[in-house]
Amino acid sequence: MDRPIAYDKLARENRFVRMRARDVGELRVEQGLAPFPDLASPESIRERVHGIMVGELQAMEGAGRSVYDFPDAPWEFTMDMARQVWDESRHVEIYLALIDHLGGYAGEFPETTILWRCACAEDAAARVAGVNRGLEGLACDVFAQLIHIAKKIGDPVIERAVDFVLADEITHVRMGSRWLNELTRDDPERRRRAVEFQDSIDERFNLGGARRDGAPEEVGISIAKDARRLAGFTDEEIERLIKSTQRSPVY
Amino acid sequence: MTSSPLAGEFSVELSGRVIRHYRYAEERMMRTMGGWIALTAELPAKLVLGRHVWDCAQHADLWGRRLPELRAAAQKSEPPNEAFVRFMDLLERPEDRDQTVERLVGVYRVLKPHLVAAYERHLERANPVYEPPTRRILERVIPEERRHVAAGLQVIARLGESPRVAEWTRRLADALAEAGGVTGDGTSPALVTIDVDGVNTAGDLVALDSAFDVTKVEPDLRGRVEAHGRALIEGDAAGIAADVAPDARDAVLGAYARLPRGANATEIVGCARLGAQRVVKTRLSGPPGSVVIQQRWQRDGAAWRVVAADVVGAERPA
Ligand SMILES: [Fe+2]
Ligand SMILES: [Fe+2]
C-alpha cells in the first residue's frame, strides 16, 4: 500500500452519493437554501446528522491511515490512533442508529470529502494538528450544539448518545495536542508548518461564516468554548479561532 | 522429560524471541487492517476492521510490555524469518475496491486462525508455575482472536465468495507454511479451521444487513429513472433525450457517449436528496461488467428531468 494513499481511493458502497462540497453548497443556494443544513427543521437535523455520520466514517478511515502511514512514529502514537479508530467505529454505529431514529437512511444526502482530504497530510504532526485539533475541535462545536438542540426539542436519545461521542472527541483533541507537542519538540519549523496546516483547516471549516461565536440556536455552528477548554485549547487559541471566523467571508 | 511441576519447554530467551514474533504478526496485521479501512467499500467489512484494529494494537502492546520482563527490549517486533515477511507482504497486497473478500480472508481465514492455533499450543506448554505472566496474556488474547475470526467469517459469508478467493487462500497458506508459521518452526498448521460455535459477535458486527432500499425513491421518480435506464440499454436516443433538460443535453449526452455497450439490466443503487433535487445512482450491468451513473434529477412541472450525469464507477464481472 502507498503511504499515504491518493485521496480519491476512498471507497464507498454505491448507495453513498459523493459530490464536491462546493457543488453541494452552490446547488443548495440556487434553490434558496442555506449552504449548510441549519438545525431548524426535522429534515435539516437529519441532514446534519447524516453529514456527521459520514464525517465519522472519514475520521475512522483517517485514523486507520495514521496507524498504517507512520510505522516509525512512537508506539504510543500508534496506540492512540488505533484507539481512535475503535472510537470512530462506534461513532459511526451511533450515528447510523440516530439516522434510523430520525427516519432517515444511509446515503440520504450527498457525501463530501473535505474532511478526508485533510486526513491525507503527509507529516504525522500536521495530520494530528489538522485532524485531531482542527477537525475534532469542529466536532466538539457541532456536537455540543446538537446536544443543546436535542435538549430543546426534547430528544433524550440524541442528547445522551451524542454526549458520549462528545466525550470521546474531547479525548481525541487531547491526543492531538500531546502528539503535536511531542513530535515537534526539537523541530520548531515542523511545528510551525503543522500549526499553519491546522489554521488553514480551521479557516476552511469556518464554512464561510457559518461557524461563529454565538448562542447555539442563533448561529450555523456555534463555537463550543467550554468543550474546547476541556479538550485543552487555551483561551488564547479559542480567541484566535473566534477572530478567524470574523475574517472569513460570508458564503 | 521429567514430570516435575518445574519442568518447562520455553527458556527465557526462547520465550522472548517467540513473543517478538507474535508482536510482529499482531503489529503488522493491525497496521494493515488500519490502512485497509479507507480502501474497503462495504460497510460491515469497513466497520469490522475498525473494531478489531484496537484489539490487535492492544495485543501487540501486551506482548511488547512483556518483553523487558524477559530480559529483552520493550515493544520490539521481529519476524521469525524472511519468508514470514514475504507472507505478510502478500497478505497486504489486495487493495483494489473489489478485493474486500481477499483482504478479509487473509486476516480472518488464514492469519488469525493460525495465531489462535499457535497461541493455544503455547498456552498448553507454558509452565503454570513460572510463566503465568505470559499465560495471562495468552488467556486474554486467544478468546479475542477467536471472536474476531467468528465475526470476520460472518462478514465474508455475507459478502459472498468467488473461485478467485479459494485460490487466494491457498496461495497465502502456502506462503505461511513456507515460513513455518508465526513461530518459524512449523509447529502450528498454516491453514486451520478453529471452533467458533457459540462465540458472541454482536459487538463486532455493525450494519451487517443494511442495504439500499429502493422504496426510498419517490414512486414517480423511480419509474422515470428505471425507464431512462432501459432507454440507455436499448440505445433509444429519442427516449433518452426526452428525459434530459434541454440546456443540459450536450453535457449529459456527452457523458452517456462514454458508457460501454453490452448492458442488459438496470438497477437503482442509491438516491440522495439535495433540496428538491435528487441525485440518483443507477447501475447498468451485463456480461462485460457494470458501470454506475450518477444523475441529478429535477422536477420540471409534472415530469422529472436529468440536469446532470456522470459515470462514477465501473466493476468487472465477478
Ligand atoms: Fe468521532
Ligand atoms: Fe474523533
- Asked if A1 and B35 come within 8 Å (Cβ–Cβ), the reply is yes
Identify whether the C-beta of residue B74 lies closer than 8 Å to the C-beta of residue A102.
no
A136 CA from centroid of ligand 2 (Å): 5
Using the predicted structure, report yes or no on whether residue A54 has a pLDDT greater than 70.
yes
Angle at A178 between CA A174 and CA A183, to 5 degrees: 145
Could you give the dihedral angle defined by the CA atoms of residues B310, B313, B316 and B318, in that order, rounded to the nearest 10 degrees?
-120
Nearest CB to B57; choose among A1, A71, A78 = A78
B284 CA from centroid of ligand 2 (Å): 37
Q: Mind listing the pLDDT tens digit for each residue in A58-85?
A: 999 999 999 999 999 999 999 999 999 9
B42 in A contact zone (CB under 8 Å): yes
Nearest CB to B53; choose among A14, A19, A64 = A64
Give the residue on A whose Cα is nearest the Cα of B271.
A108
pTM exceeding 0.90: yes
Using the predicted structure, report yes or no on whether residue A251 has a pLDDT greater than 60.
no
Identify whether the C-beta of residue A106 lies closer than 8 Å to the C-beta of residue B210.
yes
The pLDDT-based confidence of B1 (bands split at 50, 70, 90) is: low
Using the predicted structure, report yes or no on whether residue A220 has a pLDDT greater than 90.
no
H/E segment holding residue B33: helix B12-36
Cell numbers for B203, please give them.
459487538
Nearest CB to B50; choose among A78, A86, A106 = A86
Q: B12-208, what's its fold?
A: Ferritin (1.20.1260)
- Asked if B31 and A12 come within 8 Å (Cβ–Cβ), the reply is no
B51 in A contact zone (CB under 8 Å): yes
- Asked if A82 and B54 come within 8 Å (Cβ–Cβ), the reply is yes
The pLDDT-based confidence of A244 (bands split at 50, 70, 90) is: confident
Using the predicted structure, report yes or no on whether residue A4 has a pLDDT greater than 90.
no
Using the predicted structure, report yes or no on whether residue A25 has a pLDDT greater than 60.
yes
Nearest CB to B39; choose among A11, A69, A108 = A11
Interface of B with A in 263-292 (CB under 8 A): 269-277, 279, 281, 283, 292
The pLDDT-based confidence of A182 (bands split at 50, 70, 90) is: very high
Chain A positions touching B77 (Cβ under 8 A) are: none
Interface of B with A in 147-166 (CB under 8 A): none
Using the predicted structure, report yes or no on whether residue B136 has a pLDDT greater than 60.
yes
Write down the H helix ranges in chain A: 21-30, 42-69, 75-101, 114-118, 124-127, 136-153, 156-183, 188-204, 225-230, 235-247
Instruction: Please tell me which of A151-155, B3-7, B74-78 the model is most confident about, judged by mean pLDDT.
Output: B74-78
A30 CA from centroid of ligand 1 (Å): 31
Ranges of each domain in chain B: 12-208, 214-315
Using the predicted structure, report yes or no on whether residue A250 has a pLDDT greater than 50.
no
Question: Å from B98 to nearest chain A CA?
Answer: 10
Helix axes A42-69, B43-66, angle to 10 degrees: 40
- Asked if A60 and B37 come within 8 Å (Cβ–Cβ), the reply is yes
Using the predicted structure, report yes or no on whether residue A115 has a pLDDT greater than 90.
no
B103 in A contact zone (CB under 8 Å): no
Strand partners, A211: A221
Between A105 and A115, name the one with better pLDDT.
A105
DSSP A18: B
- Asked if A62 and B38 come within 8 Å (Cβ–Cβ), the reply is yes
Give the residue on A whose Cα is nearest the Cα of B77.
A75
Q: Mind listing the pLDDT tens digit for each residue in B117-135?
A: 999 999 999 999 999 999 9
Q: What residues have a C-beta under 5 A from ligand 2, the ion?
A: A 59, 136, 169, 172
Q: What is the pLDDT of residue A208?
A: 77
Using the predicted structure, report yes or no on whether residue B202 has a pLDDT greater than 50.
yes
Burial class (CB in 10 A: 0-12, 13-18, 19+), A162: buried
Mean pLDDT for all residues in chain A: 92
The pLDDT-based confidence of B182 (bands split at 50, 70, 90) is: very high
Region A174-185: what's the mean pLDDT? Answer: 96
Q: What is the spatial distance between Cα A176 and Cα B124, in angstroms, rounded to a whole number?
A: 42
The yes-or-no answer to whether B12-208 and B214-315 have a common fold is no
Burial B143-154 (b: 16+ CB within 10 A, else e): ebbbbbbbbbbb
Q: How many CB atoms lie within 10 A of CB B197?
A: 5
Region A33-58: what's the mean pLDDT? Answer: 91
Ligand that comes closest to the CA of residue A91: 1
Q: Mind listing the pLDDT tens digit for each residue in B4-55?
A: 999 999 999 999 999 999 999 999 999 999 999 999 999 999 999 999 999 9
Between 3.10.450.50, 3.40.640.10, 3.40.50.1240, 3.10.560.10, what CATH number should domain B214-315 receive?
3.10.450.50
- Asked if B281 and A27 come within 8 Å (Cβ–Cβ), the reply is no
% of chain B beyond a pLDDT of 90 = 92
The pLDDT-based confidence of A248 (bands split at 50, 70, 90) is: low
Q: What is the pLDDT of residue A247?
A: 74
Using the predicted structure, report yes or no on whether residue B318 has a pLDDT greater than 60.
no
Query: Position B252: which residue type?
Result: V
Q: What is the pLDDT of residue A249?
A: 55
Mean pLDDT for all residues in chain B: 96
Question: Who's near A81: CB < 8 A, 6+ residues apart?
Answer: A63, A66, A67, A70, B34
Domains in chain A with CATH codes: 14-244 (1.20.1260.10)
B54 CA from centroid of ligand 2 (Å): 14
Q: What is the spatial distance between Cα A239 and Cα A137, in angstroms, rounded to a whole number?
A: 14
The pLDDT-based confidence of B209 (bands split at 50, 70, 90) is: confident
